[in-house]
Amino acid sequence: MITVMLNEAGFEYDIHSLVRAFYPMSEVKVFVEGEKDLVSDAGFPVIKITRSSEKTVIRLEPSPLEDGGDSRVSAVRKEVFTEPGLTKDSFRNVLKQLIYQVLSARTGKELPWGTLTGIRPAKIAMGLLEQGKTQEQILQYMQDTYYLSSRKGQLCIEIAERERELLSGIHYRDGYSLYIGIPFCPTTCLYCSFTSYPISGWKERVSAYLSALEKELEAAAETFHGQIPDSVYIGGGTPTTLSPEELERLLSKLQSCFPLERVQEFTVEAGRADSITREKLQVLKRYGVTRISVNPQTMREETLRLIGRQHTPEQVKRAFYLARECGFDNINMDLILGLPGEGEEDVRYTVEEVGKLGPDSLTVHSLAVKRASRLSRWIAENKVSVTQNTDAMVDIAAQAAAAMGMQPYYLYRQKNISGNFENVGYARPGCYGLYNILMMEEKQSIVALGAGSISKRLYPDGRIERCENVKELALYIEKIEEMTERKRRLFTDS
Ligand code: SF4
């Protein structure tokens, strides 16, 4: 375990993420001096950070880091002068730079994303573009401030430029988008950390869940007085685990609350191939769904079995062709790099198979091992080392997307992401996911309905307020009035 102690609160998350990026196999604990009895909790600190009125000092002990606690490695002490009036954000940058310098020197590693630990790196480039900075200035700033590699900096700028162009024709600032979560899936994937219940055990609760959602839809329609959302996204979970009749019930209610024909983009995550049928696709088509996802994650059958998806690559192909037959001309496919047991050859095979289908967009994720997932327990129980995504796998996927005529258009990072990489959405021109951009770049308010969903109100000054629905299904149904009222207040209070 790597213990970090600092004498000022408010930076624990940043420090934890950055140290973990250098030592992905180690448990990292960050303590604030005086708040905890560090010695009895975790032993002496390996990294100690002290901020005084004029300087910040970091001291790194020789053990027990991943170098095996080699006593020939001497302790490192580094300090920087820090102005007294530094804002919290500026100090955060200084602190992360200092930690980066010390850990990079100790490990010999350079992180492609440098000191950036947030989930929206392209948002920084977008903000600088909006201030009128040139690409060169932005790249220089990102490299100097965050120690970002030139490649990742260029990716951020390319994506921010594309997003800006795509958003230029939309009056997104005054608008909003609607998210609806359906928390049921055919089975639970090994790596899942979303709100998801296996449908077989929850069939009895679906109707009550839809009734609660209907109340949320009515309240949202009332709050927005017929103002049409720019985009609608039904995700989860896997919305197509609902029966055709249940889908019809949800969509007809949605249509009676919001005039769907004027929505610019309407996405439904069909997600799991084992949930897709012709009848369900026809219902989606009838209600004007413009974009769906059919997600293989991998085309290796043994990996699909291992990660608990219980569908075959053949089913993915059949579902994809069925969707084309039903008239869907904007189909996304999600892939995951770094799945247990998979290497570069498997990724190459998957993108070749997916390429033969000819999807309109690809979302390429790097596996994130979330603490709450079964994967995290599986790794511990089977004593396997955490699987790692690699630069080569990222390149294979990027090249395959380019060969399919796609360009990167949105980007986000996650905590504990494999290999400290990123998730990138690629699309053919004209098939970009508008909701993904609006949500990821925090450009618009999101009204989110359903268990575990998070609504966000974006104010003109850029401030964001959030309101969360409870995750637990029974509680969501029970507390629906209370959550609906909280959401109404979020969007109407001035
Ligand atoms: S399909 Fe998605 S939401 Fe459902 S169990 Fe798998 S990862 Fe979780």
CB 386 within 8 A of CB 339: no
CATH architecture of the domain formed by 1-104: 3-Layer(aba) Sandwich (3.40)
Closest Cα to atom 6, ligand 1: which residue? 189
Distances (CA, A) of 253 to 107, 183, 260, 479: 57, 18, 11, 21
Domain boundaries, the chain: 1-104, 110-160, 172-487
- For the CA of 236, the closest atom of ligand 1 is 3
CB 427 within 8 A of CB 407: yes
Residues framing ligand 1 (Cβ under 6 A):
185, 188-189, 192, 194, 196, 236-238, 271-272
CATH code linked to domain 172-487:
3.80.30.20
Ligand 1, pocket-test mutation among 189, 339, 365, 423, most atoms within 8 A of CB = 189
ω into 355 cis (within 30 of 0) = no
Dist. CA 177–CA 256, nearest whole Å: 17
- For the CA of 188, the closest atom of ligand 1 is 5
Dist. CA 353–CA 84, nearest whole Å: 58
Closest Cα to atom 5, ligand 1: which residue? 188
Both tokens of 152, joined, read 């990742």
Find the 1 Cα to ligand 1 centroid distance in Å.
31
Dist. CA 244–CA 78, nearest whole Å: 63
Ligand 1, pocket-test mutation among 185, 197, 295, 305, most atoms within 8 A of CB = 185
Distances (CA, A) of 146 to 95, 140, 143, 483: 11, 10, 6, 39
Both tokens of 477, joined, read 């149904």
72-82 burial string, b = 16+ CB within 10 Å, else e?
eeeebeeeeeb
Q: pLDDT tens digits, the chain, 494 residues: what are they?
A: 788 888 889 999 899 989 988 887 777 888 888 776 555 455 566 888 998 888 888 888 765 554 454 555 677 888 888 887 889 889 999 999 999 999 998 888 899 999 998 889 999 999 999 999 999 999 999 999 999 999 999 999 999 999 999 999 888 888 999 999 999 999 989 888 888 899 999 999 999 999 999 999 999 999 998 789 999 999 999 999 999 999 999 999 999 999 887 899 999 999 899 999 999 999 999 999 999 999 999 999 999 998 989 899 999 999 999 999 999 999 999 999 989 889 999 999 999 999 999 999 999 999 887 766 778 788 778 766 655 678 889 999 999 999 999 999 999 988 767 667 899 999 999 999 999 999 998 999 999 999 999 999 999 898 999 999 999 999 999 999 999 999 999 999 88
Find the 397 Cα to ligand 1 centroid distance in Å.
22
- For the CA of 295, the closest atom of ligand 1 is 1
Which residues on neighbouring strands pair with residue 109, listed in sequence order?
Answer: none
Dist. CA 172–CA 195, nearest whole Å: 28
**Number of Cβ within a 10 Å radius of residue 51:** 18
Closest Cα to atom 2, ligand 1: which residue? 237
